[in-house]
Amino acid sequence: MPPPSASASGRNLSGSALKARGKKPRRTFRQIARGVRRRARRWAGRVRSAYRRSLQLRVVTSTMVISMVVVAVLGVFLFQSITETMIDGRTRAATAEAKANVASVAGYFTVSQNDVPPKGGDEAAAPISPVELAARDLAERAGSRYDVIILNQGQVGQDRATGSIDAASVPDRLRRDLKKNGSTLNWRQPATLRYLDNAKPNQIGFVVGSLVYGSEGVYEIYHLFPLQEEEETLSSVLQLLVIVGAGLVLLLAAIASLVTRQVVTPVRLARQAAERLASGRLEERLKVRGEDDLARLATSFNEMASNLALKIHQLEELSQVQRQFVSDVSHELRTPLTTVRMAADLLYEAREDFDPMASRSAELMQAQLNRFESMLADLLEISRYDAGAATLDLESVDMRDVVLRAVGDSEALAERHVTRFELRLPNEPCMAECDSRRVERILRNLLFNAIEHGEGKDIVVALGADRDAVAVAVRDHGVGLRHGEENMVFDRFWRADPSRARTIGGTGLGLAISREDAILHGGWLQAWGSPGEGTQFRLSLPRLAGTELKGSPLPLVPPEVEMRRTWRGHATPALSAATGESGVFDVD
């Protein structure tokens, strides 16, 4: 025998062991139920999605629901009316027949049993009782259509019944009402007809009772009428109503589908045309059929599309003229600017020989010429982007070197503003394919922006990388921003505080150019900020040029701010990976 441990392990094979032996593991009831629930939720989601997206489906569904309610109400009302009409007619006819029968046999009960001649004129034969004569007469009248029961309240052995009807079929309440009334009026009540013959099933019917006063006591005569035929008829009528109602609902749904299709189809065509128009196919038009409202809608849509195409064409021409004007003016200004620059440099170098007023004028002219040259260079760069002529000079570089060069170019300005840089760079190389000149310009703009609004506090420059992307974050601890300014931060010539003087002398185009540079690399330039907590800009670039950027290795919200807000119970909401969710300000 194998050892117990081996036997136990052989009985308790895992799913992987069963798969290794070529056997499928048995699924438990809980797993099956979980799979069924998942499939049900999946199908329910698909149905909800189709219901929300399809106007025709909603109209047809609403029509079917309303039709079902209306048909159900009308069907119930009609069935009740038919039932009451049939049952009422049947009971009235049965009651009249019962009255006629009672009136016909009432004479039998007034005759004494001794006065009844024997059957066949045989004097030796026993006389026939009046109850027997009445029962025979009633049995002939009833035939197989109904049954009759005769009960004598005073004497035993005087009860009679036709066929195999059970006397227990007479309701006790009906007998009490007859005795209490004490008259020969007819009383009617529903009842279940029972039979002594087991082969004959019980039936639904009603009982008509009457009192007859005879010479030998008071007799109760009950006519028991079955409603089997009426029940079968009503069952057939109910089935017919259900079939007709279902067919009517389906017919109304089909009609609603056809009618809504005539309306929805042009609307769908208009939606598709609008989508193609929005994608840039300005020649898209709708076909006009007829003269109804939908035809007028198509005509209006075509007119709108024509006017829109005309306006867009005019705006494109105007934009082209504006871009060409800026480009031409920028190029034309370079020649006189070069001459003015040469003269200004001579004056600036000889300023010590001038009187103080002339020397100060030479310094101011030199500073403004520097700013003018910077603005002219930015305008030329913007015109290249507008014309779609900007290109990248890609090379594989270590982003640490790019960050260090940008920081080195900004150190002189930082010293004048009594600001220090805190660098957080990884120890390993962070290689990426990019245009180092443009990336350095982006970082310089971000650093100048942080120095301008950092209020002399430390500026943190962090570099991070993962398998697919590299990111640089520039964090200052200055005044921050107001809510809602995040949508305007990269606009051209925008300033967070127009009353605040520029201490650096930027052109107002730095962040706009930086965003264009980031987009040209296939990356993101995002910003975060909060009043009193400073700002942070984050530049994210793909490691390989041309690949899609799906995430950033550095958070947009500084970790210390996120942690502090979480502790206070005010967690920062999730930020979009594609755009900044908080405000910043633009200083160049």
Q: Could you report the per-residue pLDDT of 107-156, keeping only the tens digit for each?
A: 777 766 555 555 555 555 556 677 788 888 888 888 878 888 888 766 65
Residues 356 and 456 occupy one common structural domain: no
In a domain, residue 129? The reply is yes
Residues 404 and 538 occupy one common structural domain: yes
Angle between helix 356-387 and helix 293-349 axes, rounded to 10 deg? 150
Residues 34 and 106 occupy one common structural domain: no
Which range of residues forms the domain containing residue 143? 91-232
For residue 471, how many C-alpha atoms fall within 13 Å in the half-sphere facing its CB? Answer: 26
- Percent of the chain with pLDDT strictly greater than 90: 12
What pLDDT is stored for residue 211 in this prediction? 83
Which has the minimum average pLDDT: 22-31, 255-264, 372-381, 558-567? 22-31
Is the pLDDT confidence value at 462 over 90? yes
In a domain, residue 66? The reply is no
- Percent of the chain with pLDDT strictly greater than 70: 81
CA dihedral 238, 241, 247, 250 (to 10 degrees): -90
Residues 35 and 172 occupy one common structural domain: no
Average pLDDT over the chain, rounded to an integer: 79
Phi, psi of 92 (to 5 degrees): -65, -45
Which has the minimum average pLDDT: 10-24, 72-86, 569-583? 569-583
In a domain, residue 580? The reply is no
In a domain, residue 244? The reply is no
What pLDDT is stored for residue 165 in this prediction? 84
Tally of domains in the chain? 4
In a domain, residue 318? The reply is yes
Which has the minimum average pLDDT: 280-289, 371-380, 421-430? 371-380
pTM across the whole model: 0.47
Distance (Å, whole) CA 13 – CA 7? 11
DSSP H or E stretch at residue 204: strand 203-214
CATH number at residue 400: 3.30.565.10
pLDDT band at 291 (very low <50, low <70, confident <90, very high): confident
What pLDDT is stored for residue 516 in this prediction? 85
- Looking at per-residue confidence, does 382 or 316 come out higher? 316
Is the pLDDT confidence value at 243 over 90? yes
What pLDDT is stored for residue 568 in this prediction? 60
SS (H, E, C) 345-387: HHHHHCHHHCCHHHHHHHHHHHHHHHHHHHHHHHHHHHHHHHH
Tokens of 313: 């064409």
In a domain, residue 71? The reply is no
Count of residues making up the chain: 588
In a domain, residue 575? The reply is no
Residues 49 and 108 occupy one common structural domain: no
What pLDDT is stored for residue 116 in this prediction? 52
Which among 483, 397, 389 has a CA at the least distance from the CA of 443?
Answer: 397
